[in-house]
Amino acid sequence: MLSHAVIRVSGICSAAGMAVSAILLVYMVVHIILEIILRNFFGGSTNSMGEYVGYATGAMAFLALGHTFLSRKHVRVSLLRRFLRGKGAIAVELFCIAATFAMFAFLARYIWMILVRDYTRGSVSPTLTATPTWYIAAALFAGLVIFLIQLAASALDTVVNGVPEEQIEAE
């Protein structure tokens, strides 16, 4: 079925985004430890730690959005849904997904325009490393696309299977 294929592809994309996020987290830890060692024992520096760890943090957050939504670990306010069942719950869920999709598609459009502009102009960061700024926009855009795919798959899943039950984890 088409719905199963879309949901499967969205799961693969979300897992890939999470894997890259995990790799970026390891990279950040290694870079920070390297910087600490260089500064304390050798009086040197990579001169890029703040810049690259910042880029990695942004990329990591955006790339993890799809997986966070898929695993339902996002912040969710379910006050209205507690009182709705059946088609009412599906309608509210689809409205929320559509509104979220619209907002993030709007954001993705502008990130795409920034990516294209920076790539075309050859823009670089105003730092010692002169990193091409389109790298950062590309990572953010990839994360947004993964999230949008996940939202579309979630909407399709809601139409086919209904609204999943809320699972509240104990603290």
Taking the whole predicted model, whether its pTM rises above 0.95 is answered as no
Q: Give the total number of structural domains in the chain.
A: 1
Residue 166 lies in a domain: no
Let me know if 125 is exposed, middle or buried by CB neighbors in 10 A (0-12, 13-18, 19+).
Answer: middle
Q: Token digits for 62?
A: 């955006």
Q: Token digits for 134?
A: 């389109």
Residue 53 lies in a domain: yes
How many Cβ atoms from other residues are within 10 Å of residue 120's Cβ? 9
Strand, helix or coil at 74? coil
pLDDT of residue 23: 94
Residue 36 lies in a domain: yes
Residue 148 lies in a domain: yes
Residue 169 lies in a domain: no
Which residues constitute the domain of residue 46? 2-161
Q: Report, as ranges of residue numbers, the positions in the chain whose pLDDT lies below 50.
A: 167-171
Provide the sign of the torsion angle of the four alpha carbons 103, 119, 132, 142, taken in this order.
positive
